[in-house]
Chains A and B, each alone.
Chain A
Amino acid sequence: MEALATPEKIVAGLAAVLIGVLALIALKNDWKTTGLDNNLTKVLLGLMAFGCVLVIVAAFGILPRGGS
């Protein structure tokens, strides 16, 4: 098992929280916009926020890693 808290992991986790919040704020600001480009942007921003969640999961070892 890898070390639970290395400096990289702490940096990554904190950065991911920050970026995720910023992405969600951007998403909220854009929420009422219309048009193909804006809708696509919202989907992509949402997915990116999900990516930040994944980074947090990875950094703090919330879920066990896959593989066997």
Chain B
Amino acid sequence: MSVSVAKQGHVRGAAGNSLVHDEVIYQETRDMRLLGFALFLVSDVVLFSAFIFAYLYLRNTVDTWPPVVDGKQLPRLDVAFAAVNSCVLFGSGVTMHTALENWKHGKKAAFNIWIWATIVLGTLFLCGQGYEYAHAQIGGWSGSIFGASFFTLTGMHGFHVLVGVIYLIVLFLQTRKGVYDETHYFGLTAGTLYWHFVDVIWVALFFLFYLF
């Protein structure tokens, strides 16, 4: 159902009748889906903002940052590795953007290359996160408020990246099945927006945990 409706976009009344009210027919148009998706992103921003507030609030309750746990000063996180990993994620944003541009212009082969580049970069970023988790010397998730806020926030972000990678794979499979064409590709737009959104959340987290 959903696919054919989305493709109709704007169904005219039967027999091309031009009565205004015959055209206002229940259906999910692209417009509605886009607004709904944007609102979903807004509510997701609030979810991250709440945890960022928690992080800043907790950080403000101690005299030194990173905090002192059991008389031991915790180290800062490794900024050099995170900078490389950030580039991996930001790079995937550029590749996804390029993929969608190629789709808009009907270049399906190029689209396939770029979306797979995005998927690979996204997976690489997740591996980088795993490496970082294994090597962060901040006393683990439950060790201190530093670990609690860092692992919870970046873990939530990582979960979003994971969902994004799966989403992109599904989108790729959908393009193989011919769900989208050059003029109707809302799923790809939504996927790209989501991927950019995940990138931008990382901008905030990178600043807050590694630079600030």
Contact = CB atoms under 8 A, between A and B. Distances in A.
**Is any CB of A less than 8 Å from a CB of B in the complex?**
yes
Interface residues of B, number: 38
Chain B binding surface, main DSSP class: helix
Interface of A: 2, 6, 8-9, 11-13, 15-16, 19, 22-23, 26, 36-37, 40-41, 44-45, 47-48, 50-52, 54-55, 57-59, 63, 65-68
20 contacts: A8-B83, A12-B80, A16-B90, A23-B90, A23-B93, A26-B98, A37-B189, A41-B193, A44-B193, A48-B93, A48-B196, A48-B200, A52-B87, A52-B90, A54-B206, A55-B90, A58-B211, A65-B79, A67-B64, A68-B65
Given A37-B34, A54-B211, 20 more contacts: A8-B83, A9-B83, A12-B84, A15-B84, A15-B87, A16-B86, A16-B87, A16-B90, A19-B90, A36-B38, A37-B193, A44-B196, A44-B197, A45-B97, A48-B90, A51-B202, A59-B80, A67-B64, A68-B63, A68-B65
